[in-house]
């Protein structure tokens, strides 16, 4: 499973890091100027609470916010102390510049603890992977099926966002609406891919050439004086005619499926509009209407898949002949 992470606030992270680095440099300068006994502990005592103060100003919910605040402060203090001990301990007598530099480096090390507070996990959109796969299968953005798939995905996102986003407590009706919207959208994506494959397969068949070949085979059968040859030519002509009829039937099926997709996508967009307009009662009614819609899409997808397989099987001999 893919996990995505991002910084909540880049500017805030940079601001907090600069403050912590500056504080480390200030303690380093004080350790040289006073001088401070046990500078490592003074540095930890300054950096740890400072980090906790900076992180505690965030808008995280308790108790997670308190846990992150404590963890960030403790980790930052440990990193600052370890850096100071490792660098300053190797120098017998710290000059002013050395003390300032080591303090800044200790603050820099401590600022890395801010990642705990500023890095957050981004929840993947429920249809993210399905949409990526559908785009790859549907090809050009100008394709009719690709346009329908994109519209369905946008409508789904609008419904989910209107209900408060993924994982929001929208109540049983809202959760049911979001679940059914995702189910219908997935069916639309799958059906659009099948419809696209069917259309590509149909475009590979030259209907005019098929009909000409059927006529030529029929004429050859009538002109043949050999009974066996005439029988084979007649059967071949019938097979080519059957392929022509099958292609015409599948072409009509593809047209009907695209019209059905238009209907389902329009219903998703209508539901998204109702949710956006905060028409709660209408949205719940639409949720009830989405259940049979999902069933019809599933049945249509299975039927189209069977017809596409039949066309693939029927078209191979046509190309061989």
Per-residue pLDDT of the chain (321 residues; tens, 9 = 90+): 445 677 777 888 888 999 999 999 999 888 888 876 788 898 899 999 999 888 887 655 544 578 888 899 999 999 999 999 888 877 777 788 888 999 999 999 999 998 888 887 765 666 777 888 888 888 887 788 888 888 888 888 887 877 766 555 556 666 777 777 788 888 888 888 888 887 877 777 777 787 788 788 888 878 877 788 878 888 888 888 877 777 777 777 777 777 777 877 887 888 777 777 654 444 445 445 445 544 554 555 565 455 555 545 544 444 434
Neighbours of 146 (CB within 10 A): 19
pLDDT given for residue 9 in this prediction:
78
pLDDT given for residue 62 in this prediction:
47
Neighbours of 219 (CB within 10 A): 12
Query: 275, exposed or middle or buried, with CB in 10 Å at 0-12, 13-18, 19+?
Result: buried
Asked if 221 and 240 count as a contact pair (C-beta separation under 8 A), the reply is no
Whole-number Å distance between alpha carbons of 286 and 284: 5
Residue 169, Ramachandran bin (φ over 0: left; ψ between -120 and 50: alpha; else beta): beta
pLDDT given for residue 293 in this prediction:
44
What would the 3-class secondary structure string for the chain be?
CCCEEEECCHHHHHHHHHHHHHHHHHHHHHHHHCCCCCHHHHHHHHHHHHHHHHHHCCCCCCCHHHHHHHHHHHHHHHHHHHHHHHHHCCCCCCCHHHHHHHHHHHHHHHHHHHHHHHEEEECCCCCHHHHHHHHHHHCCCCCHHHHHHHHHHHHHHHHHHHCCCCCCCCHHHHHHHHHHHHHHHHHHHHHHHHHHHHHHHHHCCCHHHHHHHHHHHHHHHHHCCCHHHHHHHHHHHHHHHHHHHHHHHHHHHHHHHHHHHHHHHHHHHHHHHHHHCCCHHHHHHHHHHHHHHHHHHHHHHHHHHHHHHHHHHHHHHHHHC
pLDDT given for residue 226 in this prediction:
79
pLDDT given for residue 98 in this prediction:
86
Tally of CA atoms within 13 A in the half-sphere of 216 that contains its CB: 7
Domain residue ranges of the chain, discontinuous segments joined by +: 4-122, 128-320
């Amino acid at each position: 499973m893919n996990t995505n992470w991002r910084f909540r606030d880049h500017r805030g992270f940079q601001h907090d890091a600069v403050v912590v680095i500056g504080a480390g440099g200030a303690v380093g300068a004080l350790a040289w100027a006073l001088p401070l006994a046990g500078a490592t502990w003074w540095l930890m005592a300054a950096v740890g609470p400072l980090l906790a103060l900076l992180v505690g100003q965030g808008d995280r919910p308790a108790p997670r916010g308190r846990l992150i605040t404590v963890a960030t402060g403790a980790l930052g203090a440990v990193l600052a102390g370890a850096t100071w001990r490792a660098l300053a301990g190797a120098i017998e007598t710290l000059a002013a510049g050395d003390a300032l530099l080591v303090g800044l480096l200790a603050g820099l090390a401590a600022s890395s603890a801010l990642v705990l507070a500023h890095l957050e996990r981004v929840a993947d959109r429920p249809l993210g992977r399905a949409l990526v796969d559908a785009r790859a299968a549907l090809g050009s953005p100008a394709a009719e099926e690709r346009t329908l798939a994109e519209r369905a995905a946008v409508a789904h996102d609008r419904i989910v966002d209107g209900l408060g986003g993924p994982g929001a407590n929208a109540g049983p009706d809202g959760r049911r609406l979001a679940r059914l919207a995702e189910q219908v959208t997935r069916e639309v994506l799958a059906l659009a891919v099948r419809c696209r494959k069917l259309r590509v397969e149909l475009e590979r068949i030259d209907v005019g050439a098929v009909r000409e070949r059927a006529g030529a085979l029929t004429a050859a059968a009538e002109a043949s004086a050999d009974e066996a040859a005439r029988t084979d030519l007649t059967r071949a002509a019938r097979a080519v005619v059957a392929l022509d009829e099958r292609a015409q039937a599948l072409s009509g099926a593809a047209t009907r499926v695209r019209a059905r997709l238009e209907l389902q996508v329009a219903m998703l967009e209508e539901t998204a509009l109702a949710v956006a307009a905060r028409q709660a009662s209408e949205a719940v009614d639409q949720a009830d209407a989405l259940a049979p819609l999902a069933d019809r899409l599933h049945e249509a997808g299975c039927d189209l898949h069977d017809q596409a397989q039949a066309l693939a099987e029927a078209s191979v001999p046509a190309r061989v002949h």
